[in-house]
Structure 1
Amino acid sequence: MSDEKPISLERALEILEHGVVDAEHGAIRWSSNHTFLISVTHQGDTIAAVYKPQRGERPLWDFPDGTLCYRERAAFLTSQALNWELVPPTALRDGPRGLGSMQFFIEHDPEYNYFSFDPSLIPQLMRLALFDVLVNNADRKGGHCIVDSQNHLWGIDHGITFHHAYKLRTVIWDFAGQPIPDAWLADVQTLYDRLQTPNDTFCEAIHQLISASEVKAFIRRMEQLLTTKRYPSPGPGPNYPWPPV
């Protein structure tokens, strides 16, 4: 893997989408689905990536089989459309083990997560919490919040998102009931408007990745946030993922 120069996020996505997988470094053992660390090379640049093949997805009772890799891509496109840079560049493509998601690997300390974060990360956590409401994240564990060498917060593992029913399970309830910053509401409004435009590239892509009922639920969540202008509070039923890390 090349460390001679930093790779921009745009270049990382290009490598993921068009590069050649030239090495597989083994399975990532703490994942509930088959997950592999790989190297991808394109035009002389090599990056590390996390590869989650569709056929290695563990069946779930409440999510359709074989859809988790599509949801990983949908979460990235949503983050990208919002211009929030919360989800690392993620491609949906064929790999050594078939179709799957490939996500740019963010170098980080796995022992440093939500439960040990410095208070300086609170503004970034607030935005990640809002993102999780938007994508209906059913599994925001503390270990799914990572920080790179530039102190930038990233969210990973978005395979169980975008369900049409309310599924929000997260450790980040710190901001429940608080007002959402106006700038982020404006971003949500822009995203909402794009989903009302059939020939918009984001609208077209999302409809190819999740079901029509899930798109409608996505729109309803945006409408609710734009109306209340506040972070939701935990409701009845399970609200936290298990295990929490």
Structure 2
Amino acid sequence: MTDLTIRARIREASNATFLADLDGEAVVYKPVEGERPLWDFPDGTLAGREVAAFLVSEAFGWSVVPPTWLGDGPFGPGMVQRWQDIDPEQDAVDIVAPDVAEAPDSGWLPVLEAIDEHEQPVTLVHEDTEQLRRMAVFDTVVNNADRKGGHVLAMPDGHRYGVDHGLTFHVEHKLRTVLWGWIGEPLTPDELEGVDRVSEALRGDLGRALEEHLTPQEIDTLGARCAALRAVGIFPPPPGHGPAVPWPLF
């Protein structure tokens, strides 16, 4: 990928992340060399798990994750992902006053209540949409440990992309997300069919493709999570041990 050129560094990211240009197209480039070691994710690379998340997203058929692949750039091999221009006027996840969250037909689902820096009550909310429901199902299957509000991209056409999937596919339960608004609700037929597509794909091309990025145990556990979610047929609650949301929330 000799044509990848760096435009700028994205300094808000915890690992080396760059806005780059590839054949006239804007992309995000995260070199493996710039990854910080994580004691609780010792296997593989963040870049590999990001690509694995995209492959699972494709198996779902919902375009939860923007096109993502492994490529070579000025700082060596890394994750490359197509840049997305969000709509700054839309918020899929937000922090609002309690009366806003509780207003009839607000479109918001509350997640948790807190006190802000001014000692005022606030509520973490997210929108109640098909796009975010699908993202929540995806996060459950890939065991996403870091679904922050800022990792949900609100697109002008109403689509919602999820990004930053380096902390996924752990064999232990690690789900930490701001998308808890549907706990206990039945999965729709469309959502169940999506889980079935992933389960089926794991027995074929998807399973073989994931071998490049995940351990055999991680792949087996991914299949087990699909089976478990299909069996219960509802959005599961947090297990009750460990944090249920990432920090910071955004």
1:153 maps to which of 138, 155, 160: 160
Map 1:76-87 to 2 at 5 A: 76-87=54-65
1:76/1:19 CA distance change after superposition, 3 Å: farther
% identical equivalent positions: 43
**Greater RCO between the two (CA within 8 Å, min separation 6)?**
2
Aligned to 1:239: 244
Map 1:89-104 to 2 at 5 A: 89-104=67-82
- How far did 1:242 drift? 0.1
Bigger helix share: 1
Q: Deviations over 1:89-122 (max 9, x none)?
A: 0011211111100000000146834116983762
Distance in 1 (alpha carbons) for counterparts of 2:75 and 2:88: 26
Number of equivalenced pairs: 220
Greater C-alpha Rg: 2
Gaps of 5+ in 2: 97-105, 108-126
Aligned to 1:38: 20
The CA RMSD over aligned residues, in Å, is: 1.9
Aligned to 2:101: none
Bigger strand share: 2
Distance in 1 (alpha carbons) for counterparts of 2:210 and 2:21: 27
2:51 maps to which of 46, 49, 73: 73
The 3-state SS of whatever aligns with 2:79 is: strand
Aligned to 2:225: 221
Please state if 1:212 is matched with 2:207: no
Q: TM-score, normalized by length of structure 2?
A: 0.83
Contact kept, 8 Å, 1:121 with 1:153, in 2: the verdict is no
Which one-letter code corresponds to 1:99 in the other structure? P
- How far did 1:19 drift? 7.6
- How far did 1:157 drift? 0.4
Distance in 1 (alpha carbons) for counterparts of 2:202 and 2:130: 27
Distance in 1 (alpha carbons) for counterparts of 2:175 and 2:2: 35
Distance in 2 (alpha carbons) for counterparts of 1:19 and 1:77: 24
- How far did 1:65 drift? 6.0
Distance in 2 (alpha carbons) for counterparts of 1:106 and 1:186: 27
Q: Deviations over 1:118-169 (max 9, x none)?
A: 8376221111101000100000000100112212100000011001111000
Contact kept, 8 Å, 2:43 with 2:215, in 1: the verdict is no
Deviating more after overlay: 110-119 vs 26-35: 110-119
